[in-house]
Amino acid sequence: MSRGSFVFTPMALRSLELDEDMLERHNYKKQVASHHFNSYMLKKEVRDRAQFRSGTTLPAAVCQDVVVQNALYTGDLEALQHFFPRGSTVNLIIEPQGGDMRWVCAGEGLWSLSYEQELTTPLHITAGRGFTDCLRLLLQRGANVDLAPGGTTALHESCENCQPECTKLLLVHGANANAVSEDGLMPLHICTSPESLECAKYLLQYGAAINGRTTEEDDTPLHVAARNGLQDHIELYLRYGAAVDKQNLEGLTPLNAACSQCQELEDLQRYFKVCHLLLLAGAKVNTVDQDKRSPLHMACKNVNPDIVDLLLANGACVNDMDYGGEAPMHNILKVVCYKISHQPERIVRALLNHGSIRVWPGALPMLLKHCSESPRTIEVLLNAYSHLKVTDIWVESVPPTALQEHKEFYQSVFSLQLTPRSLQHLARCTLRSFLNVRVHKVVPKLGLPTYIKNYLLLECRGYVH
């Protein structure tokens, strides 16, 4: 026996025989499938020609042909021209594979995990993927533009995927700009990203209802745009006459919706511009939702200093309570430690300068504990009092890590245990007490150096005295 050979065992030989049988069966299945496909295409051609001669329109049929589906999903125009010649039916319902798994009853008490199927059509597939030429071909072949087997129309699909050319094409061919999906959404409610602006423009040009409501939340398109911080959409909708103070089922106006949305640092300016546009359009600044929360409550909770300044400048009530008995000051103090990069001290300062209620002195040690990572916030709060009763509990309330990181500031705070507040600070408190809620209006008009005016308005110095 040569060095490059080995002996086959009976088990190895049997395995090779099984592999050979499997290969033969696979080749046979391919031949049968090819025969069935050719037969299917011949029958389809005969059926399409008969339908063309009779002039009748067949109802939508289920298409399970993977070749046709592949052509649709890849945008193969040449293949679609072959599959859908003139006079053929293009009103097909397709059940694609994939999606989420769910339990399905298989009968006789047996259940199995299967993929949840969502019915679609050739129009949905091509419109959602931006295959404009393929979509045009299907529409020219007489596809039903408002067919919605899966609960949404092709127009919903094109708007959701930000395909303006497909959106325009569908509208030109008579798509209903106000079609309602099974989730109660019109196409304009689907425009939730900056890239969907062109789709929204086409929808409005073709008669989309600017104040159309969603079924579940009773939102208007302006609510949706405000919630998503879409400045350009807001400007567009306002030009078309959007109602600026409509309330949804939760009592939210578009301004409330914008303020209530959770905002990361990079989102702050975007939402500020949205709120500015809404207020310029006449939005009411003190409208409350079903929980009695105003836009100011929400802007404080999401720590957007620019929006807080904007709302206060437009007459927001600084001490209104919600159903939970909390004022805007409560909302900002509860989230200081989570939003330090948002400059929460600016909000606390603005609220105090507009006459906000202060923290009960007995709760200041707890405040030190929860806001210790933001010494600037603590500084603003402590400077709103003329006298402070600093005890050992204050020292124990500050975590060691925060104490070490902001050592000089906390030393200035703890030194008040043995030292009274400075005369300069007492003078500030006296003047602020006299002006009360007029501090923010009067102080900027005083003929004083800017340094002193900023001091009266509780500007941070990095210490207390």
Structural domain that includes position 224: 210-357
Q: Are residues 149 and 245 in the same domain?
A: no
Q: Are residues 199 and 72 in the same domain?
A: yes
Rounded to whole angstroms, the Cα distance separating 154 from 61 reads: 17
In a domain, 441, yes or no: yes
Q: Are residues 220 and 204 in the same domain?
A: no
In a domain, 39, yes or no: no
| Parallel/antiparallel/unpaired status of strands 101-107 and 110-115 | antiparallel
In a domain, 181, yes or no: yes
Read off φ and ψ for residue 318, nearest 5 degrees.
-80, -20
Q: Are residues 281 and 240 in contact, defined by beta-carbon separation less than 8 angstroms?
A: no
**According to the model, what pLDDT value does residue 62 have?**
77
**According to the model, what pLDDT value does residue 70 have?**
85
In a domain, 338, yes or no: yes
364-392 per-position pLDDT tens digit: 999 999 999 999 999 999 999 999 999 99
Contacts 24+ apart (CB under 8 A), 67-71: 67/37, 68/92, 69/94, 69/96
In a domain, 53, yes or no: no
Question: In CATH, what number is assigned to the domain containing residue 310?
Answer: 1.25.40.20
Q: Is 206 helix (H, G, I), strand (E, B) or coil?
A: coil
DSSP symbol at 446: S
Q: Are residues 200 and 294 in the same domain?
A: no
Q: Are residues 228 and 278 in the same domain?
A: yes
Q: Are residues 186 and 162 in the same domain?
A: yes
The distance between the two most distant Cα atoms of the chain, rounded to a whole number of Å, is 111
Over its length of 465 residues, how does the chain's per-residue pLDDT go in tens digits?
A: 444 444 556 666 666 666 666 666 656 555 544 544 454 444 444 455 444 444 444 466 777 778 888 888 888 899 888 888 887 788 888 876 555 555 655 555 666 655 555 788 999 999 999 999 999 999 999 999 999 988 999 999 999 999 999 999 999 999 999 999 999 999 999 999 999 999 999 999 999 999 999 999 999 999 999 999 999 999 999 999 999 999 999 999 999 999 999 999 999 999 999 999 999 999 999 999 999 999 999 999 999 999 999 999 999 999 999 999 999 999 999 999 999 999 999 999 999 999 999 999 899 999 999 999 999 999 999 999 999 999 999 999 999 999 999 999 999 999 998 888 999 999 999 999 999 999 999 999 999 999 999 999 999 999 998
- Out of 208, 233, 250, a domain closes at 208
- Out of 208, 228, 263, a domain closes at 208
In a domain, 296, yes or no: yes
Q: Are residues 230 and 268 in the same domain?
A: yes
In a domain, 382, yes or no: yes
Q: Are residues 349 and 429 in the same domain?
A: no
**According to the model, what pLDDT value does residue 87 have?**
79
**According to the model, what pLDDT value does residue 67 have?**
83
Q: Are residues 344 and 283 in the same domain?
A: yes
Q: Are residues 335 and 455 in the same domain?
A: no
* Total domain count, the chain: 3
Q: Are residues 217 and 346 in the same domain?
A: yes
- Out of 327, 357, 387, a domain closes at 357
CA distances from 45 to 42, 48, 59, 66, 230 (A): 5, 5, 17, 18, 49
Does the CA dihedral 43-45-51-54 come out positive or negative? negative
**According to the model, what pLDDT value does residue 25 have?**
62
Q: Are residues 389 and 448 in the same domain?
A: yes
Rounded to whole angstroms, the Cα distance separating 366 from 379 reads: 15
Q: Residue 1 corresponds to which amino acid?
A: M
In a domain, 165, yes or no: yes
**According to the model, what pLDDT value does residue 32 have?**
47
